[in-house]
Amino acid sequence: MVLKLYNTLTRKKEEFRPIKKGEVGIYTCGPTVYDCAHIGNFRAYVFEDVLKRYLRYRGYRVRHVMNLTDVDDKTIAGSKKEGIPLNEFTARYIRIFFDDIKTLNIEPAGVYPKATEHIDEMVALIKKLLEKGVAYHGEDGSIYFDISKFEGYGRLSKVRFDESKESKERTKLDEYAKDEVRDFALWKAWTPRDGDVFWDTEIGKGRPGWHIECSAMSMKYLGDTFDIHAGGVDLVFPHHENEIAQSVSATGKRFVNYWVHNEHLLVEGRKMSKSLGNFYTLRDLLERGHDPNAIRYLLLSSHYRQKLNFTFKRLNAARNTVQRLSDFLDRIKNAGGLVGKEWNEKLHKETIKTKERFDDAMDDDLNTPRALAAMFNLVNRTNRAIENKNASKENLEEVYDLFMKFDSVLKILEHREHKKDEIPEELEELIKRREEARKRRDWETADSIRDLLKEKGVIIEDTPDGPRWKKINTDP
RNA sequence: GCCAGGGUAGUCUAGUGGUUAGGCAGCGGACUGCAGAUCCGCACUACAUGAGUUCGAAUCUCAUCCCUGGCUCCA
């Protein structure tokens, strides 16, 4: 099987073929660092993370570039409001962003170019567009891209640009300095509102438009044509459409081979927005006691091109699911006296088949729900084999290794590689005392200690091999 | 208006022209001092509605109803 990805450009699943054998260049639109990212942002980042990890699982070397938009209306407004320099303001949110992706087990990109550090590249690109006559100076001194000069405009988003009545009316309504509403800014001339945020360049005093940074930086780090460009659906238009226009006009080459876009996330059935009060950052969820693994699992439990309805009910269900998987791994890791002696050929075949099913599902446009279903199937079969003492140590090791392999892509199992969690000594002591009570058949003492431990967030399970404990989440 | 995506058992998600869907929740049983975990079983053969194509449709076609998103900064 070959990996297939749904390409927004063709609206079809296409076999993925990299430009350079064994290597993939991928550019993902990163955060505008003026605030904490929210769970909708993280759906995109987690999806991109899984895409990247799966490519690697498939044996590709991946070069991943993610931009940090650190100059735009919002970052300027934010820094002005706080009376601190722009870079100081954005540094704070960049730090938070990196903390957050670490929490969600998102692997950092290889390069995180900042817009403010690539002004030269952007200016060079804009100059090229001016020379080619596809860009023009507006009355306000800003530089705009003339979309009528780019034949393929609208191909990605399938937006048609006939001179509709509506758009003409809007041109009249707003006082635009540009010729046509759909034309977009490459370079924004300085205005007093920008304060000390400006660059004095050959093309004037001002700052870059939003779209140009992605064209300039992606091509700088990945080449004029690269493999995959990813982002949320909202970016299809106008952002990515504009990137194509700029890049192709400048180089005359194809810009990106595969455009992949993830659908949005709804919260309790509605669009997430601050006014509806259903706007959550990762920090909000952590404060409520939710487990990052559960959040990540929830984000992967629907297909990425499907709208995902984020609810607390589902998040709690996700926590239980992740817990069960984690329990399962603990079980097969420490099966001890539970295992049989004989190699179970049937379970072995089932294990092999599970890998095939997982790979097939992921090859099919990263169908994570189907991949998860394959995993649960093996969980059930393995549990049954253990129950019947019909699995050998080697069988269980094989299953365990396979799950670790799956988790190198999904990253929803415990991060701690199953080394024992630390718990305070006093709790260890309680567990010991409870065991002593149980030996005396003093159930009353044993049970009260168990309740006490539960209050302290530790659940005790008695097994034939002695007591086992695990921490519990205290989700709402 | 234009461009999209949906409606699948209590619930959430996959999927498919004919064969037992996966998770979560619930109930009963086994196991256990009890609990938990696990196993077995149950509700349960489920696909918005109507018509058509077909030997056969939940899947394909047409129509209808309902939900959501984008078209302006947005993952």
Residues A385-424 pLDDT 10s = 888 888 888 999 999 999 999 999 999 986 544 444 567 7
Residue A158 approaches strand B within 7 Å at CB: yes
pLDDT at A213 over 50: yes
User: Which 301-330 positions of A have CB less than 7 A from strand B?
Assistant: 301-303, 306-309, 313-314, 316-317, 320-321, 324, 327-328
Number of other residues whose CB lies within 10 A of the CB of residue A243: 28
Number of other residues whose CB lies within 10 A of the CB of residue A172: 9
pLDDT at A304 over 70: yes
Percent of chain A with pLDDT over 70: 91
Rounded (5°) CA angle A25-A27-A28? 145
Report the complex ipTM: 0.90
Residue A237 approaches strand B within 7 Å at CB: yes
| A286-302 mean pLDDT | 90
Residue A172: per-residue pLDDT: 40
Are the beta carbons of A402 and A312 closer than 8 angstroms? no
**Which of A22, A21, A18 has the alpha carbon at shortest distance from A5?**
A18
The more confident residue out of A435 and A277 is A435
User: Any alpha helices (H) in A206-256, and if so which ranges?
Assistant: 210-222, 241-251
CA distance A25 to A221: 9
Q: How far is CA A415 from CA A324, A354, A408, A411, in A?
A: 15, 22, 10, 8
Please tell me the number of Cα atoms within 13 Å of A414 on its side-chain side: 16
pLDDT band, residue A291 (cuts 50/70/90): confident
- Bridge-based pairing state of the strands A23-28 and A61-66: parallel
CA distance A131 to A366: 42
Dihedral angle over CA of A157, A160, A163, A164, nearest 10: -100
Three-state DSSP state, A6: strand
The more confident residue out of A286 and A180 is A286
- Bridge-based pairing state of the strands A265-267 and A308-310: parallel
Q: Give the end-to-end CA distance of chain A in Å, rounded to a whole number.
A: 43
CB neighbours of A215 closer than 8 A, spacing ≥ 6? A125, A243, A246, A247, A250, A255
Dihedral angle over CA of A313, A377, A293, A112, nearest 10: -120
What token pair was written down for A243? 């990137």
- Homologous superfamily, domain A271-410: Isoleucyl-tRNA Synthetase; Domain 1 (1.10.730.10)
pLDDT at A260 over 90: yes
Q: How far is CA A288 from CA A3, A22, A275, A443, in A?
A: 38, 43, 20, 35
Q: Which nucleotide is closest to A460, CA to C1'?
A: B36
Residue burial A374-406, b: 16+ Cβ < 10 Å; e: rest:
bbeebbebbeebbeeeebbeebbebbbebbeeb
Are the beta carbons of A475 and A287 closer than 8 angstroms? no
Provide the CA A160 to C1' B3 distance, Å, integer: 9
pLDDT at A257 over 80: yes
Tell me which nucleotides of strand B come within 7 A of a protein CB.
2-6, 11-15, 21-25, 32-40, 67-75
User: Which 280-299 positions of A have CB less than 7 A from strand B?
Assistant: none
Are the beta carbons of A208 and A119 closer than 8 angstroms? yes
Looking at domain A19-262, does it have CATH number 2.60.40.1120? Answer: no
Q: Which residues pair with A230 in a beta bridge?
A: A28, A260
| A92-103 mean pLDDT | 95
Are the beta carbons of A318 and A297 closer than 8 angstroms? yes
Residue A162: per-residue pLDDT: 53
| A227-236 mean pLDDT | 92
pLDDT band, residue A163 (cuts 50/70/90): very low
Q: In sequence order, what E strands does A348-402 have?
A: none
- Asked which of A119-123, A187-191, A358-362, A454-458 is least confident by mean pLDDT, the reply is A454-458
A370 CA to centre of own chain? 19
pLDDT band, residue A181 (cuts 50/70/90): low
Residue A357 approaches strand B within 7 Å at CB: no
Q: Which of A24-28, A164-168, A308-312 has the highest mean pLDDT?
A: A24-28
Residue A177: per-residue pLDDT: 60
Residue A464: per-residue pLDDT: 74
pLDDT at A208 over 50: yes
Q: How far is CA A224 from CA A119, A215, A220, A249, A252, in A?
A: 18, 9, 8, 11, 9
- Asked which of A189-193, A281-285, A450-454 is least confident by mean pLDDT, the reply is A450-454
Provide the CA A100 to C1' B39 distance, Å, integer: 40
Instruction: Give the tens place of pLDDT for each residue, A327-376.
Output: 898 888 876 656 777 889 989 999 999 999 999 999 999 999 999 999 99
User: Which 261-280 positions of A have CB less than 7 A from strand B?
Assistant: 262-266, 269-272
pLDDT at A125 over 50: yes
Q: What is the residue-averaged pLDDT of chain A?
A: 87
pLDDT at A166 over 70: no
Q: Which nucleotide is closest to A447, CA to C1'?
A: B34
pLDDT at A267 over 90: no
Number of other residues whose CB lies within 10 A of the CB of residue A90: 26
Q: How far is CA A377 from CA A8, A294, A302, A358, A406, in A?
A: 32, 20, 18, 11, 14
- Bridge-based pairing state of the strands A466-471 and A458-463: antiparallel
CA distance A468 to A338: 14
Q: Which residue has tokens 């899984």? A: A50
Q: How far is CA A89 from CA A86, A150, A187, A319, A445, in A?
A: 5, 37, 22, 35, 56
- Bridge-based pairing state of the strands A226-232 and A256-262: parallel
Number of other residues whose CB lies within 10 A of the CB of residue A225: 16
